[in-house]
Amino acid sequence: MSEAQTIECKPSKWFKSRAVAVCAMLTFFTLWFFKDGYWGYRDKNAEVAVQQVFLGEGTAPSKNVSFAVKAIDEFNKKEYTSESWSAFAKEQLINTPENKELLPRDYDYTATWPEEIVNGYDELKDGNPHILWKAYTKRTGLPFDPSEKFFDEGKIREQFITCGICLALLLVAAFICLRILGRSMKVTPVGYTPAGGSEVPFSAMRKIDKRKWDSKGIAVIHYEDEGETKKIKVDGMVYGQFKEEEGAPAEALFSQIMNNFKGEVVEFVDDDDDDEVDEEESK
């Protein structure tokens, strides 16, 4: 038996990197859904509203939102001159839905038809409103093919609900990660202390199940406490890790447990044992 020593395994870099990745992913989705709910979908609705003036309802197929007034339809209702069309068009408001919760909070409801429409007599006469829309998007920086969907109140509400779910998952994940980061597993000359638990003397250990040690870095120790058989876990992936350049602390810790253990060792793995081991790991 090799000389016993105290070995402590703190949360591994493997765990830390994955904890950061999970928290970063959940943070991203939380902010993303909040953005869409608070202003993203509303901004897209505003784009669709102005697009309706140029191209009409064909680009906004939402059946429960009908507010479009196509400039070319108004143009074709009667004979206009360039001057009379300009005078008419500059007085027209961009139509919007009655529900103001669908558009940006700072939306200008007094906004009139864009100058491309006001000065677009020739293009409208030739039946080419797309040319005007292209000129407008080039001037404003809007995409030529904006969202074809007008997001209703239900869709906007869904973003906040999903945001709340992601936030809840983030808080749970952060709590679990912080709890693990504050723990360690340790072996001393007299016993083993699992993460978040109390020291179990080697003399109290009755069986060690190491069937998943080589593949997952997990072993389960069965020990006796006041006449009752209990279980504790050695988790070398979360605590310590097995990198040789770092001294393979988890392997060293487990080796010291094995060197001081005198009970039954379960090593063989077969198909029927897999479910039992997985159940033990979850406890």
pLDDT for the residue numbered 59: 41
pLDDT for the residue numbered 270: 57
pLDDT for the residue numbered 36: 95
Q: What is the pLDDT of residues 185-207, one digit of tens each?
A: 999 999 999 999 999 999 999 99
Query: Using CA atoms, how far apart are residues 110 and 90, in angstroms rounded to an integer?
Result: 12
* Residue % of the chain over a pLDDT of 90: 68
Lowest mean pLDDT among 70-74, 111-115, 130-134: 70-74
Which contiguous run of DSSP H or E holds residue 16?
helix 13-35
112 DSSP 8-state letter: B
Contacts of 201 (CB under 8 A, 6+ apart): 190, 191
Partners of residue 233 on adjacent β-strands = 220
Q: Is the pLDDT of residue 6 over 90?
A: yes
pLDDT for the residue numbered 1: 40
Higher per-residue confidence, 54 vs 147 = 54
pLDDT for the residue numbered 283: 52
Lowest mean pLDDT among 24-38, 134-148, 171-185, 222-236: 134-148
Q: Quick one: average pLDDT of 142-163?
A: 86
Q: Quick one: average pLDDT of 27-36?
A: 97
Q: How confident is the model at residue 96 (pLDDT cuts 50, 70, 90)?
A: confident
pLDDT for the residue numbered 281: 52
Q: What is the pLDDT of residues 204-249, one digit of tens each?
A: 999 999 999 999 999 999 999 988 999 999 999 999 989 888 889 9
pLDDT for the residue numbered 243: 87
pLDDT for the residue numbered 98: 81
pTM assigned to the model: 0.75
Query: Using CA atoms, how far apart are residues 270 and 107, in angstroms rounded to an integer?
Result: 66
**Average pLDDT, rounded, for the chain:** 88
pLDDT for the residue numbered 143: 80
Q: Look at the chain and count its residues.
A: 283
Domain residue ranges in the chain? 22-159, 184-281
Which of 280, 178, 182, 174 lies closest to 233, judged by CA? 280
pLDDT for the residue numbered 239: 95
Q: How confident is the model at residue 89 (pLDDT cuts 50, 70, 90)?
A: very high
Q: Quick one: average pLDDT of 7-19?
A: 93
Query: Per the structure block, which two tokens stand in for 37?
Result: 């709910």
In one-letter notation, the amino acid at residue 202 is F
**What spatial distance separates the first Cα and last Cα of the chain, rounded to whole Å?**
31
* CATH class of the domain defined by 184-281: mainly beta
Query: Using CA atoms, how far apart are residues 217 and 213, in angstroms rounded to an integer?
Result: 4
pLDDT for the residue numbered 95: 86
Q: Quick one: average pLDDT of 98-117?
A: 91
